[in-house]
Amino acid sequence: MKLAEITNYLESIAPLNYQEDYDNSGLIVGDPNMEIRAALVALDCVEKIVDEAISTGCNLIITHHPIVFKGLKKLNGKNYVERVVLKAIKNNIALYAIHTNLDSIHTGVNARICERLGLTGTKVLSPKAGLLKKLVTYCPQAQAEQLRSALFYAGAGNIGNYSECSFNADGIGTFKGNEDADPFVGEKGVRHREAEVRIEMVYPTQAERKILVALFENHPYEEVAYDIYKIENKHQLVGSGMVGWLEYDMDAYDFLHLVKDRMQAKVIRHTDVTGKRIKKVAVCGGSGSFLLKEAIAAGADAFITADFKYHEFFDAEEKLIIADIGHFETEQFTSNLLLEIIQKKFTNFAIRLTEQNTNPINYLF
């Protein structure tokens, strides 16, 4: 199988434009046209992961965290990042990362945390803006349904749990073709009036090229009139963190023990337990302190995440319980998620989970 076939599929689920500005998701090492024999999935791409790929015959490593975050000015093996990249290149192993773009989708990393905690009625905690646009076009009434269907098929008209969403208004269009025109209706040199439908659809920015191709191929006019608008609407299925409800409210300490057990956390750092029972829970895989205000605003009773600094714990102000369970601990089930995503599409593809624990943090009890 070609590498591009795998990466294109992953990016159809978690598009690269969903990642944060600081991130470096995508193909880091490798030729998109190279043949992939087998893939190894891990949370981190460190030297022992590359060694495992070599020993198991895998020439693709798919990880959550990118091995390269910042630009590399030299490749001489002076640190683990350079050594990993050099070893991968030397052994013709492709490296692919799917990081904050996988965090951002509503079926991604945070959804897996919610699933393990038994949360229901989940939704994105902080939806992203800037990911949607609106297409407006004008089409003769007789051809409007064909055009709408083509645009829907290309990816336009999806809003939350609804598909094939459009707004349509009847009106009159006018035009006059010159001597070089080849009008679909009307005559050259004569102003023509045509009953048309104004069609409006929202679409994700990454689908724009495909949608415009569908527009031009299915619109009957020689010159297609259309407008594209940037809209500030937040994408309710894409963003940071998630929030949901426990099946029943719990004593705070019972809840923390449940989190420790379900998330296989060795230790939990948490704020004061005030006696408030826990029902609504916010989560964020990895470093989630930036979402504390959103978790409070959502009315969460507890916020499960990692990497809170000392002074940031004070910011809870007894409005909720912060439970910092560790970066690795919040994301350790991401590898299983990736394995399931890939196996669902490529049922006969040779793919395996790493046998290595890449958590750089050890605990002394």
pLDDT, tens digit, 9 for 90 and up, residues 64-94:
999 999 888 899 999 999 999 999 999 999 9
Is the confidence at residue 275, as pLDDT, over 90?
no
Is the confidence at residue 304, as pLDDT, over 90?
yes
pLDDT tier at 365, thresholds 50, 70, 90: confident
- Residue 82, pLDDT score: 96
- Residue 274, pLDDT score: 80
- Residue 98, pLDDT score: 98
- Residue 299, pLDDT score: 97
Question: Average per-residue pLDDT in the chain?
Answer: 96
pLDDT per position as a tens digit, 1-59: 999 999 999 999 999 999 999 999 999 999 999 999 999 999 999 999 999 999 999 99
Residue 87 pairs with which residues in a beta bridge?
none
The contacts of residue 360 (CB under 8 Å, 6+ apart) are 328
pLDDT per position as a tens digit, 145-191: 999 999 999 999 999 889 999 999 999 999 999 999 999 999 999 99
Mean pLDDT of 346-361: 96
Contact 114, 122 (CB under 8 A): yes
Mean pLDDT of 256-262: 98
**Structure token pair of residue 12:** 């159809």
Residue 235 pairs with which residues in a beta bridge?
128
- CA angle, corner 81, sides to 363 and 333, nearest 5? 50
Q: Would you give the DSSP letter of residue 234? A: -
Q: End-to-end CA distance of the chain, in Å?
A: 47
How is the chain split among helix, strand and coil, in percent rounded to 5? 35, 30, 40
Closest CA to 198 of 155, 148, 132, 133: 148
- Residue 325, pLDDT score: 98
- Residue 200, pLDDT score: 98
The contacts of residue 178 (CB under 8 Å, 6+ apart) are 188, 189
Contact 350, 37 (CB under 8 A): yes
pLDDT per position as a tens digit, 315-350: 999 999 999 999 999 999 999 999 999 999 999 999
- Tell me the C-alpha to C-alpha distance, in Å, between residue 142 and each of 32, 139, 151, 164, 166: 43, 8, 16, 19, 17
pLDDT per position as a tens digit, 22-38: 999 999 999 999 999 99
Gyration radius (Cα) of the chain, Å: 25
Is the CA virtual torsion 69, 74, 77, 83 positive or negative? positive
